[in-house]
Structure formats: structure tokens, C-alpha cells
């Protein structure tokens, strides 16, 4: 379970405007999260550098900097702020830039999590030697969620690559569905960020066993 610290999103608007990132991260850690995703993008998600820095000071879990990464400088920032990984969105990057940024991330000892939604994007991620791939159910243009993207692409992810299902998941049934098609992990943001008791909400979603790919 990768639990996300997120105040707002383009699809839902305000989720938890008063979210305390450090306190929420500690709840996630107690609830059994394997890692924490932190939005640092300010315009659409109301995130910031400070959120990531505060979460790093609060917990020892691996941290993902989630932002629109388009330049190596942002990877250097991510490492300086305490991130263990950065999100690279295949749809937002020409393949040559995706490859270059993935190599730069590894050079800075930050793991690139490459996000995909189509077969072509998955091929590009694997060409970039991704060791972690996220399959996003959300169409970034329309913001609509279609779980069939996860159903179609996760089985194509090689067994030695960490496969992560992203977007639209709120219930144990959602997590079980992802596990059935081979997800090693799921990333859940809105429902956990808005939960009154995030520790209990997260614990209720953990413990689902995946089916091997």
C-alpha cells in the first residue's frame, strides 16, 4: 500500500485543505503503509516542498515525490528534500526524455516510478529499464477513471518489475481486483487523505494477497 498525502486534485477539488502532512504520514505508517506518496505540485494539488520535507522528518518509510517532473533539477530537489523515488509520467514526456530522466534519477540514487496508461507507454517504460511501473486508471485528459487500463496492462508488466495500480481505488474490493491482475502494490490518495481516521482506513485495506504474474 502506497498512501498519498494530497490536499486537492483537479478531478475532486478540495479533498482536505487543512491536511497536516506530518501527522497524516504518521497515521499512514501506523496503519501499515509500505511507502508514502507526497504531492509537491502547487497549482493543481496544493502541494509544496515543505510537505515532503515535513513527511521525511516524521517517518522512516520510502517517499515518492509526485509532481510533473520534466527536468533533472527536480530530481535533485527530490533527493535534497528526502524523496526515495520520483514519478515520471510517460504521457508527458517524449521517449528520449523519459529515458534520460530515468537514467538521471538512478544516477542521483532516486528510483524512477514510471506511470503509464497505454501499451505504447508501457513499452517506453520498459525500454527505460523501469524497475517500478504505475498503471494509472485515470485518463489525464478527461480525468475519467477506467479500471480496464489496469486489467489490460498489469499482466504485461514483467515479474521482476514492481507493478503498481493507481487511481480510483477506495475499497477492499478495488484492491482485490488489482491484486487479481498482478499488482504488487496500489497507490491510494483521495480516500485516505480525506479519511477522518486514516490509520484505521488504511489498515482495513491492507493484507490483500496478489496473484503472481
Instruction: Indicate which residues carry an active-site annotation.
Output: 4, 6, 66, 115, 136, 166-167
The residues, any chain, with a CB within 8 Å of residue 23's CB and separated by 6 or more, are: 58
The residues, any chain, with a CB within 8 Å of residue 204's CB and separated by 6 or more, are: 172
Q: Take residue 45 and report the three cell numbers written for it.
A: 494539488
In angstroms, the Cα distances linking 5 to 23, 51, 72, 126, 213 are 10, 8, 23, 28, 29
Whole-angstrom distance, CA of residue 140 vs CA of residue 121: 13
Amino acid at each position: 500500500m502506497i498512501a498519498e498525502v494530497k490536499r486537492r486534485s483537479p478531478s475532486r477539488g478540495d479533498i482536505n485543505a487543512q491536511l497536516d502532512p506530518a501527522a497524516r504520514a504518521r497515521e499512514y505508517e501506523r496503519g501499515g503503509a509500505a511507502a508514502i506518496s507526497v504531492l509537491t505540485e502547487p497549482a493543481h494539488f496544493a502541494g509544496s516542498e515543505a510537505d515532503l520535507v515535513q513527511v521525511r522528518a516524521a517517518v522512516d518509510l520510502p517517499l515518492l515525490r509526485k509532481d510533473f517532473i520534466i527536468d533533472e533539477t527536480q530530481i535533485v530537489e527530490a533527493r535534497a528534500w528526502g524523496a526515495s523515488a520520483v514519478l515520471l509520467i510517460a504521457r508527458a514526456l517524449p521517449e528520449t526524455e523519459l529515458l534520460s530522466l530515468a537514467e538521471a534519477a538512478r544516477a542521483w540514487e532516486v528510483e524512477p516510478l514510471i506511470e503509464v496508461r497505454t501499451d505504447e507507454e508501457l513499452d517506453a517504460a520498459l525500454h527505460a529499464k523501469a524497475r517500478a511501473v504505475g498503471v494509472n486508471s485515470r485518463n489525464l485528459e478527461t480525468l475519467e477513471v477506467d479500471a480496464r487500463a489496469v486489467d489490460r496492462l498489469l499482466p504485461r508488466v514483467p515479474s521482476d518489475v514492481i507493478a503498481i495500480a493507481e487511481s480510483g481505488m477506495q475499497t477492499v474490493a478495488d484492491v482485490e481486483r488489482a491484486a487479481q491482475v498482478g499488482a504488487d502494490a496500489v497507490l491510494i490518495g483521495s480516500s485516505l487523505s480525506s479519511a477522518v481516521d486514516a490509520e484505521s482506513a488504511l489498515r482495513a485495506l491492507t493484507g490483500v494477497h496478489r496473484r503472481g504474474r
